[in-house]
Amino acid sequence: MKIIMLGAPGAGKGTQAKMIAEKYGIPHISTGDIFRANIKEGTPLGKEAKGYMDKGQLVPDELTVKILLDRVAKDDCKNGYVLDGFPRTIPQAEVLDKALTELNDKVDFAIDVDVPDENIVKRMGGRRACVTCGATYHIEHVPPKKEGICDKCGSELILRDDDKPETVQKRLSVYHEQTQPLIEYYTKKNILKTVDGTVDMMDVFKAITDILG
């Protein structure tokens, strides 16, 4: 099963994608996580991506598409995957479709986690991310057992630089301009499913598993 998660920054794509990956036994692939891992390791890709990410802009399609295609070609993707944060532009979606068509394959579902902008701004200020394993928390909705410490690996939790309010506003406008057109793109392909992302995360997950079966 090949699944795409759509939605604004902070809509809960990552939270849901992790649960989907676990339930269906497929890898969770987040381009944002891949970029952050490269930044941490100081690779050339990380250095280039950081400049865009810090400004709340998208990393150019050329770079992003290459890392995604390399990732989905790996062995563990044979039975499918859940993509979180890719595609984010129409050209990215077209490249993915072309690559899959060449393999006689296709995306099965594009799930739009729908959350209005007002809720997003509130939510992002409370997001905390683990510097080591990438686990995500929320100071009110998903607090770690011990404040500031990752439950899974014991590392420090931080507020991502790009989750500060000025950058969140910029990312939201980039989302509306460049990513939202994908909703129409996948509607036309008859694979778009919308879920209400404002409810409790387990209720969002229930709505998603009802769709996926």
- From the list 50, 88, 123, 128, the catalytic residue is 88
Q: In the window 11-70, what residues touch ligand ADP (CB under 6 A)?
A: 11-15, 30-32, 35, 52-53, 57-59, 64
Stretch that binds Zn ion, among 3-11, 39-47, 62-70, 125-133 (CB under 5 A): 125-133
Query: Can 13 be counted among the known catalytic residues?
Result: yes
> Known catalytic residue: 71?
no
Of residues 26 and 34, the one with the C-beta less far from ligand ADP: 34
Q: Cβ of 150: how many Cβ atoms within 10 Å?
A: 22
**Does residue number 95 form part of the binding site for ligand ADP (CB under 6 A)?**
no
Q: Are 4 and 181 in contact (CB under 8 A)?
A: no
Question: Which does residue 15 bind out of Zn ion, ligand ADP, none, counting CB within 5 to 8 angstroms by kind?
Answer: ligand ADP
Q: Is 116 exposed, middle or buried (0-12, 13-18, 19+ CB in 10 A)?
A: exposed
The whole-angstrom separation of Cα 9 and Cα 165 is 12
State in angstroms the smallest separation of the CB of 123 from ligand ADP.
Answer: 4
Which is nearer to ligand ADP, 26 or 29 (by Cβ)?
Answer: 29
**Which entry of 18, 160, 170, 193 is annotated as an active-site residue?**
160
Residue in 47, 66, 146, 152 binding Zn ion, rule: CB under 5 A: 152
- Has 88 been annotated as catalytic? yes
Q: Coil, helix or strand for 5?
A: strand
Is the previous residue joined to 60 through a cis bond, with omega within 30 degrees of 0? Answer: no
CB closer to ligand ADP, 3 vs 53: 53
- Residue 98 class from Cβ within 10 Å (0-12 exposed, 13-18 middle, 19+ buried)? exposed
Of 26 and 138, nearer to ligand ADP (C-beta) is: 138
Residue 164 annotated as catalytic: no
Active-site residues: which are they? 13, 88, 127, 160, 171
